[in-house]
């Protein structure tokens, strides 16, 4: 079917989603693998510490500090591995979405081929996005410190490197003595920072779609995403509003159900509270499952929406369902 209006967009996405439930699989596999890696890492570290005699040492603190750096190094390498695993999963997943939109059906073969095809582009895009977010956060923190410290800003920076503990105490004292105008200034900076972070996230929401469907490098895919959002601003906002609305309905429904359990059992304490906790566990698990399904569905919808741009340009468009 052609995507002619807002309703058609959701219909086509639903058709493709039903035909490609395998899209739900990759993140689940990576989550399980990540959990296994974390558990194995903890077990290995515990065994090594046990063999080293740390737990039986009279000077436990000194022994633990001796092994602290190796533990940090091992943990950092583990986090790096998990990060690269997540990037590889995202690269393969992006290719699956692309093939689903283009051909109507995708398989795990597309997932594996996507890892080799898009890994470095996805890695570069994620790093660049984190750098942008980090730069905005750094600027916000810089401005907040300027408001708090005023003329003492340069002195604080120098003392921060010489004596971090003393600098922290001075900052704590200054925070307690903040004037109302300074507090308003800080609130304004935080508010502006949040607005800018949301705006950047909104403008870059389609960079992975541009990277795969348009076969663009990192910077051009960012530019294409910005261009697409600005050209289809109301449509994009409408889709995001629907996604947020459905997520809120799901959360509110779960919350109301748990609250009704409290009312039905007639108490907020004792054994009934434990029972309510046990009953609410499957509800929370169901909420998590439905939230995950919604996330995959709307990610596919973003691919369908971006692919419409290619059709409008007269280039090779997406799969037609014939509906």
Q: What is the pLDDT of residues 22-73, one digit of tens each?
A: 999 988 888 888 888 888 878 877 776 666 665 555 555 555 566 666 667 7
Instruction: Indicate the number of domains in the chain.
Output: 1
Is 297 contained in some domain? yes
- In this prediction, residue 22 carries a pLDDT of 95
Q: Which residue has the tokens 């990277």?
A: 211
> Model pTM?
0.80
Asked if 104 and 321 touch (Cβ cutoff 8 Å), the reply is yes
Is 276 contained in some domain? yes
Is 291 contained in some domain? yes
Predicted confidence (pLDDT) at residue 1 exceeds the cutoff of 50: no
Closest by alpha carbon to 214, among 106, 118, 110? 118
- In this prediction, residue 109 carries a pLDDT of 95
What is the C-alpha separation between 125 and 26, in angstroms, rounded? 20
pLDDT digits (tens, 9 = 90+) for 4-23: 678 888 999 999 999 999 99
Helix (H, G, I), strand (E, B) or coil at 104: coil
Rounded average pLDDT over 85-103: 95
- In this prediction, residue 58 carries a pLDDT of 55
What is the C-alpha separation between 262 and 15, in angstroms, rounded? 39
What is the C-alpha separation between 232 and 88, in angstroms, rounded? 30
Is 18 contained in some domain? no
Rounded average pLDDT over 95-124: 95
**Beta-carbon count within 10 A of 245 CB:** 10
- In this prediction, residue 49 carries a pLDDT of 65
Is 118 contained in some domain? no
Phi, psi of 268, rounded to the nearest 5 degrees: -115, 15
Is 69 contained in some domain? no
Higher pLDDT, 156 or 3: 156
Place 224 in a pLDDT band, splitting at 50, 70 and 90: very high
Whole-number mean pLDDT of the chain?
Answer: 81
Predicted confidence (pLDDT) at residue 3 exceeds the cutoff of 80: no
Crossing angle, helix 218-231 and helix 233-265, to 10 degrees?
80
Is 188 contained in some domain? no
Asked if 106 and 32 touch (Cβ cutoff 8 Å), the reply is no
The CA–CA distances, whole Å, from 102 to 165, 191, 307 equal 58, 41, 8
Retrieve residue 105's tokens. Answer: 């059906």
pLDDT above 70 as % of the chain: 72
The H-assigned helical ranges of the chain are: 6-19, 25-52, 60-103, 108-149, 153-162, 164-176, 180-203, 207-213, 218-231, 233-265, 271-312
pLDDT above 90 as % of the chain: 47
pLDDT digits (tens, 9 = 90+) for 153-212: 665 666 655 555 545 555 565 565 567 777 888 899 999 999 999 999 999 999 999 999
What is the extent of the structural domain holding 260? Answer: 234-314
Predicted confidence (pLDDT) at residue 121 exceeds the cutoff of 90: yes
Place 295 in a pLDDT band, splitting at 50, 70 and 90: very high
- In this prediction, residue 176 carries a pLDDT of 59
Is 248 contained in some domain? yes
- In this prediction, residue 322 carries a pLDDT of 43
Predicted confidence (pLDDT) at residue 304 exceeds the cutoff of 90: yes
């Amino acid at each position: 079917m052609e995507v002619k209006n807002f309703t058609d967009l959701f219909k086509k996405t639903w058709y493709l989603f039903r035909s490609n439930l395998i899209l739900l699989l990759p993140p689940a596999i990576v989550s399980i693998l990540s959990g296994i890696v974390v558990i194995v890492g903890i077990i290995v570290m515990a065994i090594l510490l046990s063999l080293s005699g740390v737990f039986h040492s009279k000077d436990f603190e000194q022994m633990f500090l001796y092994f602290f750096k190796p533990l940090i190094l091992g943990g950092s390498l583990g986090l790096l591995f998990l990060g690269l695993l997540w990037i590889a999963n995202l690269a393969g997943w992006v290719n699956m979405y692309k093939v689903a939109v283009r051909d109507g059906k995708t398989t795990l073969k597309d997932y594996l081929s996507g890892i080799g095809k898009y890994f470095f582009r996805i890695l570069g895009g994620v790093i660049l996005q984190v750098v942008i977010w980090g730069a905005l956060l750094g600027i916000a923190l810089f401005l907040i410190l300027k408001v708090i410290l005023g003329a003492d800003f340069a002195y604080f920076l120098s003392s921060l490197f010489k004596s971090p503990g003393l600098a922290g105490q001075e900052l704590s004292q200054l925070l307690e003595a903040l004037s109302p105008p300074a507090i308003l200034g800080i609130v304004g900076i935080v508010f502006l920072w949040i607005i800018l972070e949301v705006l950047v996230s909104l403008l870059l929401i389609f960079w992975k779609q541009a990277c795969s469907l348009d076969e663009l490098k990192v910077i051009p895919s960012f530019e294409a995403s910005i261009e697409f959002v600005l050209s289809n601003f109301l449509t994009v906002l409408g889709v995001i509003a629907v996604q947020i609305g459905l997520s809120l309905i799901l959360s509110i429904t779960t919350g109301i159900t748990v609250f009704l359990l409290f009312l039905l059992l007639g108490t907020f304490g004792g054994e009934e509270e434990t029972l309510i906790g046990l009953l609410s566990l499957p509800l929370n698990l169901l909420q998590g499952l439905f939230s995950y399904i919604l996330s995959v569905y709307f990610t596919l919808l973003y691919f369908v929406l971006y692919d419409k741009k290619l059709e409008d340009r007269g280039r090779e468009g997406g799969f037609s369902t014939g509906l």
